[in-house]
Amino acid sequence: MGKRHNIMIERKELLKGTVLFEKLNEEELEKIAACFTSKKFGAKEVLFREHSPRNRFMVVMDGQVEISKRVHAGKEVLAVLSKGDFLGEAIFLDDTVHSATATAKTQVRVMQLTRERLQVIRRENPRVYFLMVEGISKLLSRRLESSSKKLVNQGADYHADGFRMEHDLLGERGVPAHVYYGVQTLRAIENFPITGVPISHYPNLIRALAMVKKAAALANLKLGLLEQDIADAIVAACDDLISGAYHRHFSVDVIQGGAGTSTNMNANEVIANLALQKLGRKPGEYDIIHPNNHVNLSQSTNDAYPTALKIGLLLSITSLLEGMRHLKAAFRKKEKEFRTVMKMGRTQLQDAVPMTLGQEFGAYATMLGEDIRMLKKAARLLNEINMGGTAIGTGINADPAYAKLCTEELCAVTGMDLELSGNLVEATQDTGVFVQLSGVFKRISVKLSKICNDLRLLSSGPRAGLNEINLPAMQPGSSIMPGKVNPVIPEVVNQIAFQVIGNDLAITMAAEAGQLELNVMEPIIAFNLFQSIDIMRNGMMTLADRCILGITANKDVCRGYVENSIGIVTALNPYIGYENSSSIAKEALKTGRSVYELVLERNLLTKEEIDRILSPEAMLHPRRWTEEDR
């Protein structure tokens, strides 16, 4: 009886004051708490899957729950929920399926309310039910209001309202009690409602920031600049972020003034407040662990931010390379499948000489292979970092041993072969590596777009175009023309390429805009680089899976173009001479007769000789010929 009583008290305390249950009196809370049941989940156990029916409303009692969505390269972690957070609250409003997957990161205990139990509450306690629905409506209204202000993720709180007071250079402000960021992040959120895209949209940047802060804390500990308990708490907080937890508290816009200071302070504040909790303290008790004095110790935005940017890019490039390899493999598969399909090659959109469709797709695979090597080469330049340079590269406020020690710790934390720059003043102001990397992205996109242009041409028709290949039909192509199917996948990849090329120009201008000892435009550089990586990766996976692997060849159409083409006369040059070949080409074009027919008519070659010369083996590869062949 005592255990059950304690559980009921725990449930009531968890529900009390939240937006869903804030208007319920004690008796109503007691009844609602009794309707919930408790359930435990082991680490890595799935609470619900994306696209599965919503049948439970849950509140996390203990542990952490990861919310993720499937993407081409695996999964994208959207949030990590903890005590007091809601799951499945849309069950109050509709019966749609889950839009994401919930997985226990640790041992998890939840209290849950089934759909059936909700219906019982609706019948027996309509006032209570509609107060709960009103609470859900408030929650959704709050999200919509925040979205309208482009403060993405700020509406997604699951906690009771309330504020803690914090102060900075400009004065005192109330910060929502449930968030882990502080007053400087709050000001940045208000100052930069620009894109609606928070920095948490790029989780590898958040992980990289946490890695930098962890390495700095470990270095400062070894130098005797941080006490053991504070360093341990900071490291533990960073480990949470590296694992994907608490990313939703990184809320500043990706485009911001201040050379990345808002991003750096967002990290410092979140880590400080998480670390405070590790010590049993409350967020905002900065006399114990301070965002600047402890988390940012021996650092400046001007060394921590560009270093984190480079590490985040290295983490993200891994997934881009996966996408490139996947697309390359798809082209190789088609190269093998189409190795015997004869077709006409074309230059300047005019008939050239015969080839196989397999050779065409093999060329695409080789292009991607070259770009994979180029990307790896460019990525190696990201290994040079400027930790310890602090404000402008002179190392002010850092211990003489800090730069080398922090770099060593960062290598251990990341598993990367990072290297401290030989000139920290140069490294602090130079953004050339980002221009170089973006140039490779542009190169990849230009070639990818060219490939998609080819696919659209080769599949054009089906009755009045080339019609050499068939792209998989993905969706109806017209609101007015029945039966029309468009090459929508190559088209979207073309548009991705245009965006990446535009991003490259923005990065170029931002890099050029540096002045004296610092480039303040790194946030727009970061945004465009991360966006380019994401859309290229997704585009390549989509192109491979929804287009390339499903392509079929119209073999008869391809061969018919070869047999009726004037271009095959090129293969006769070594045997009948250029003048004869030109004369035959001219007559064939004028009369519509075939090259084959005209050569026989003029007795320039026998039928056996023509068949041998125009065989695929003779036309598709280099071959030695002798005077006898003439």
Q: Which two tokens stand for residue 396?
A: 């002010």
What element of type H or E holds 78? Answer: strand 74-81
Q: Distance between CA 48 and CA 10 in Å, rounded? A: 24
DSSP secondary-structure letter at 386? -
Give the other-Cβ count within 10 Å of 51's Cβ: 12
Alpha-carbon gap, residue 478 to 461, rounded angstroms: 15
Question: Which residue do the tokens 């073309």 mark?
Answer: 494
240 Cβ contact partners less than 8 Å away, ≥ 6 residues apart: 246, 274
Give me 364's structure tokens.
């695409």
Distance CA 288, CA 230 (A): 8
Residue among 147, 181, 176, 170 at smallest CA distance from 251: 181
3-state secondary structure 124-187: HCHHHHHHHHHHHHHHHHHHHHHHHCCCCCCCCCCCCCCEEEEEECCEEEEEECCCCCCHHHHH
Residue whose tokens read 């007091």: 84
Catalytic residue positions, numbered: 478
The span from the CA of 461 to the CA of 457, in Å, is: 9
Sign of the CA dihedral running 483, 489, 493, 499: positive
